[in-house]
Structure 1
Amino acid sequence: MDLSSSPQDAYSFLNGQLRITRDEVMQRCAPRKGDIVILSGTLVEGIGSKHSDLDAYVICDELPPVRHVGDHSFIIEQNGGLRTFVDYIRDDGFAIDVEYYTRAEIQAMKDEVQGLYRQARERTKTLRKKMPHAYEDGLHKMQVGIALTGGDEFASLFSADFWKQMSFVQYRNRTGGYPEFKDVMGTWGSGDFDTSLLVCTMFLMDQAAGLCHLAGSTNGKAKWVMQNLKRLPDPLRPLGQDIIDWYGSAGRSAEDRRAAVLSACDLVARIYEADTTLLDADTRNFYSAEEALHLTQQEFLTEPFHDPQTVLEFEFRRLLFNSGTRSVRELLIQNV
């Protein structure tokens, strides 16, 4: 859905099946003077369904007092103030989820992202440290939302570079993961193609999610990866569709599953090639492939032991930046 970033009198979703007015949102949020109100959620993002809720975020100086807001409200209180409430606003179960964050809390969320971003730029090993889920989800929904009040201040709070840096952190959380790839190699080599297909499916999902993040999505929920793949920029959309098609391609026999794992390796290689292009296109906010390979080599030299598994891990990590003497498929086949 293409909703204007400017506030309107009313918002319609799912071809008019769901509708809410700006006044109704404001009445539910009850903002104080100077508060920023943001309407968001998967419906606003364009990937929701008739069972989705709307989300509203209120950025304020302090949490408001707890109050009863509707006939069916579910309220969460924190530190003596109202943190969030969910209320049904239609007889069919359509609900709005309103969350309150202070400006100080927003700054803490931004600081968390910036701290992780600095770590993400220093190495190439998968970044296992993630931002708290509430931060990731809240920030994402603010990014895709519409500021109903305080639009100028909201725009000043979050620069375009900030969103790129957040997506880079998410890319670094999801992409790579040699222990996970080693699970694919181990199960494939032992002939357990059922388990190999399962762990390969999870591994491919993470690599696909990383690509979506690097392409600009900050939606960190795994259940939306398919929708995010459909919304990739035009040059990457055929790859996104091929990944989606792969998920329905595995047959029942062991040979079918074996073939599916090998074809997934080829898709992973294409993802890493696309990642490299995206990295090189924005060296202001991402490291370039050349810089990443240099960091990888530095990390390899500081390893205390260059045993076979360590050598294999770093060979795999070079593939993330479209470099190496073997493909992902060859790495699997030749190291079972």
Structure 2
Amino acid sequence: MLSFRTHLAAVTGMDDFDEETVLEAIHLADDDILMLSGSLVDGSGTPSSDFDFCVIARSKDDRFHRDTFPRSRHMRYYTSGDRVKASFDYLPHSLLGVDVEYRTRDEVTDMLAAHARLYAHQRSRARKSSAFAHSAVDFRVLSRLSYGVPLTNAAAFEELARGVRPGEIAYTAFRTAVGSYPDFRDLVGMWAQGDHESALIAARKLGVDTFRGLSHAHGNTNRNPKYLARFLDRLPLDRELVSHFRRLHAYGVGDGADAGEAVLEWLDLIDLAFDGIRAVRDKADAFVGRRDFLDLLRNELHDGMRWNAEISNEYCFRAREAEDGLPPLRELLTAMTARSAAPHHLPLREWARGRAAPVGENDKSA
């Protein structure tokens, strides 16, 4: 009998289960690749997690169509038009569930090619990217391919997996995650109004995004923030930094009167996260290195710009993922609240000299 129990990470409080009952929910064909992945494999699972399987078929068959899908035992299934994408079931007398995605080998190959285009696009720009939404990439599937375990047809899986480049997946995740200047600018506006509670919500988002970026710089391919603290615990990071993040993220502040100080505490923590990103990004082969990233920033500047404090502060914020010695975010917050420029050493006008305005882009990679 096909067995997968040995591939599961230890989960405290997990109910026992019958493997045959789990496998009955999959509807496996002989030449399918069956991949096991998800939180029960990567070690972030809980007693209410699902067994996450992906069936990668040679081509579409009756399981891929609404009217012929063998769903008699399933509680629900997900479709896009006629196309069945996934099925979901619960195990009796257990918190555990069974999720099965249905893909074809061509679909996975096409997704890997789309991701390669997305990665090339993101390497050419320095801004936080929303191109993922246009890219025809299911990032969750790509992440799972980077660590999934083939339970059947391992040779076919290995052939397919040659196109999976975890470092590149981590970089596209980083580029869509790491904290952005528009988010910081929103925070400043709330702070300037004296709305410290809203500023705290914005600071928490900026902090989570930046720590997600830090985890991706260390090779994490999972974009889902719900287990971020668990991912950070596994990385070679300063334990005090991780503990500080966990405390602020999980417990926040006890009283609204403390919101302003908590915003500043978050900004200090975000500065430390950026320190961590700078420390490792040159060692991550698939990442745009620090000097190359600054070149991307430099190429955005041109002689026709109307120089003002806003432009100076924007590049002071954005350059910190690659440049040392920039003023801390507390100082940037103070300067922007006063409608002035924070002092920094970036030679923005020198970078702009002799450059024409760059051609616009449509934010699409495919």
Q: CA deviation at 1:208?
A: 1.0
Q: CA deviation at 1:271?
A: 0.9
Partner of 1:203: 206
Report if aligned partners of 2:179, 2:207 keep a CA contact under 8 Å in 1. no
Q: CA deviation at 1:173?
A: 0.7
Distance 1:80 1:176 in 2: 39
1:255-308 deviation line (CA, Å, top 9, x unaligned): x222211121111111111111221112x3111111111211121237743333
Q: CA deviation at 1:26?
A: 4.3
Partner of 2:189: 186
Distance 2:44 2:94 in 1: 20
Relative distance call for 1:327 and 1:30 in structure 2 (3 A) is same
Partner of 1:50: 47
1:155 aligns with 2:158: yes
Q: TM-score, normalised by structure 2?
A: 0.80
Which of 240, 243, 252 is residue 242 of structure 2 equivalent to?
240
Relative distance call for 1:239 and 1:168 in structure 2 (3 A) is same
Report if aligned partners of 1:126, 1:177 keep a CA contact under 8 Å in 2. yes
Report if aligned partners of 2:267, 2:330 keep a CA contact under 8 Å in 1. yes
SS at match of 1:98: strand
Unaligned runs of 5+ in 1: 1-6
1:173 aligns with 2:170: no
SS at match of 1:75: strand
Moved more, 163-172 or 20-29: 20-29
Partner of 1:118: 120
User: What amino acid sits opposite 1:137 in the alignment?
Assistant: R
Moved more, 143-152 or 77-86: 77-86
Report if aligned partners of 2:271, 2:329 keep a CA contact under 8 Å in 1. yes
Partner of 1:4: none
SS at match of 2:302: helix
Distance 1:314 1:206 in 2: 18
Relative distance call for 1:160 and 1:303 in structure 2 (3 A) is farther
1:213-271 deviation line (CA, Å, top 9, x unaligned): 2212222122222222222x2234442222112232524143x2222111211111111
Distance 1:53 1:179 in 2: 36
Moved more, 121-130 or 163-172: 121-130
Relative distance call for 1:235 and 1:14 in structure 2 (3 A) is closer
Distance 2:204 2:304 in 1: 30
Q: CA deviation at 1:158?
A: 2.9
SS at match of 1:334: helix
Percent identical across equivalent pairs? 25
Partner of 2:353: none
Distance 1:251 1:75 in 2: 42
Q: CA deviation at 1:142?
A: 3.1
1:30 aligns with 2:31: no
Report if aligned partners of 2:69, 2:84 keep a CA contact under 8 Å in 1. yes
Partner of 2:139: 136
Which of 104, 111, 122 is residue 102 of structure 1 equivalent to?
104
Which of 5, 13, 16 is residue 10 of structure 1 equivalent to?
5
Unaligned runs of 5+ in 2: 63-67, 338-366
Relative distance call for 1:242 and 1:322 in structure 2 (3 A) is farther
1:187-214 deviation line (CA, Å, top 9, x unaligned): 1222211111111111111111111122
Distance 1:190 1:225 in 2: 31
Partner of 1:3: none
Q: CA RMSD in A?
A: 2.6
Q: CA deviation at 1:123?
A: 1.6
Q: CA deviation at 1:32?
A: 2.6
SS at match of 1:200: helix
Report if aligned partners of 1:315, 1:324 keep a CA contact under 8 Å in 2. no
Total equivalences in the alignment: 327
Partner of 1:262: 264
Report if aligned partners of 2:40, 2:51 keep a CA contact under 8 Å in 1. yes
The 5 Å alignment of 1:210-221 reads 210-221=213-224
Report if aligned partners of 2:4, 2:151 keep a CA contact under 8 Å in 1. no
Distance 2:73 2:96 in 1: 13
Moved more, 263-272 or 41-50: 41-50
1:20-57 deviation line (CA, Å, top 9, x unaligned): 56555544323333321011222222222222211110
Distance 1:147 1:297 in 2: 45
Moved more, 140-149 or 15-24: 15-24
Q: CA deviation at 1:312?
A: 1.5
User: What amino acid sits opposite 1:156 in the alignment?
Assistant: E
Distance 1:325 1:52 in 2: 43
Report if aligned partners of 2:12, 2:47 keep a CA contact under 8 Å in 1. no
